[in-house]
Amino acid sequence: MRLLRHQLKWEQRLFWRSRESAVFVFLFPILLFALLTAVYNGHIDGRPASWALLAGMIGYGAANTAFAGLAITLVSRREIGILKRIRATPLPPAVYLTAVLVSIMIVFAIQVASLFALGRLLKSTPWPTHLLSLVLSLALGAAVFAALGLAITGFIRSLEGSSAVLNVIVLPAAFLTGSFGPTRHYPKVLRAIGDVLPLKYLLDLIKGIYLHGQQFWDKPLAIGVLAGWGIFGMAVALRTFRWEPREG
């Protein structure tokens, strides 16, 4: 426990001190939200557009922070030898990874709070009502994306390409699943692709709770699909996660 607290404190300091992570991981979804609410008017899903965009941007934030942000952090640390160096210390690997995961969840939580506050400020969006359901949904979503983030590090060979690869995954996924606006008018094929992605089901949960007053447990299908992706991510991560940089 002492080790976990110690590492968590340093993970937070490392995150906020790095301009790259603070801007691209934390700030980017917030800026994007401000931009989109400025251009979209009218209604989405029977609610004011800004409400739906807020829900969409929280989902995108989960993918951007817990999946892409986590993967970039771990790949960069692996490739410059920090992960290997840490393994020579008494800090248990499980404690280290837990601290990294909890730290990224804290960042995501602050991001979500900032999005609600900004929505309130710019477009008078309401505060969320079913808080417990929202927290459960976001925790599940962030955990699933973190598992997938751990899994993908094994397939990224170098730091140079990592943020490009991850954006090629996250941005289209967010677009296809409706983070940036409704998908109803998309071609069938694109909607079908969107329908298998985990972000779609996280968005279902968030929109159900925030826009339509539902509860977490009202969406067993979404919970099931997300859990499936999470288990898949963990299984892959256990096989492919590496602590050491690629040789040569």
The closest of 82, 68, 227 to 149, measured between CA atoms, is: 68
Closer to other proteins by Cβ: residue 83 or 173: 83
**Angle at the Cα of 119 from the Cα atoms of 118 and 122, rounded to 5 degrees:** 80
- Between CA 142 and CA 65 the distance in angstroms is 8
**Beta carbon of residue 79, minimum distance to other proteins (angstroms, whole number):** 9
Task: Give the range of 46-54, 57-65, 84-92, 193-201 binding other proteins by CB under 8 A.
Answer: 84-92
CB of 92 to other proteins, least distance (A): 6
Is 242 an interacting residue with respect to other proteins (CB under 8 A)? no
**What are 48's strand-pairing partners?**
43
Give Rg (Cα) of the chain: 18
Cβ at position 163, least distance to other proteins in Å? 17
CB nearer to other proteins: give 18 or 214.
18
Choice from 6, 43, 120, 212 touching other proteins (CB under 8 A): 6
Distance CA 10, CA 28 (A): 23
The answer to whether 242 touches 157, Cβ cutoff 8 Å, is no
The answer to whether 33 and 54 are in contact (CB under 8 A) is: yes
- DSSP code string of 69-131: IHHHHHHHHHHTTHHHHHHTSSS-HHHHHHHHHHHHHHHHHHHHHHHHHHHHHHH-PPPPS-H
Least distance from other proteins to the Cβ atom of residue 91, Å: 4
Among 42, 46, 90, 187, binds other proteins (CB under 8 A): 90
Nearer to other proteins, 17 or 184 (CB): 17
What gap in Å lies between CA 130 and CA 134, rounded to an integer? 6
Residue 21: CB minimum distance to other proteins, A: 10
Q: Check residue 10 for interaction with other proteins (CB under 8 A).
A: yes
Interaction of residue 87 with other proteins, rule CB under 8 A: yes
d(CA 155, CA 11): 24
Of 195 and 244, CB closest to other proteins: 244
Q: Residue 246, interface with other proteins (CB under 8 A)?
A: no
Length of the chain: 248
- If one asks whether residue 161 binds other proteins (CB under 8 A), the answer comes out as no
Residue 160 to residue 72: CA distance in whole angstroms: 10
Q: Name the segment binding other proteins (CB under 8 A); options: 4-12, 63-71, 171-179, 209-217.
A: 4-12
Options 80, 110, 192, 235; binder of other proteins; rule CB under 8 A: 80
Per CB under 8 A, residues contacting other proteins are 3, 6-7, 10, 13-14, 17-18, 80-82, 84-85, 87-92, 244-245
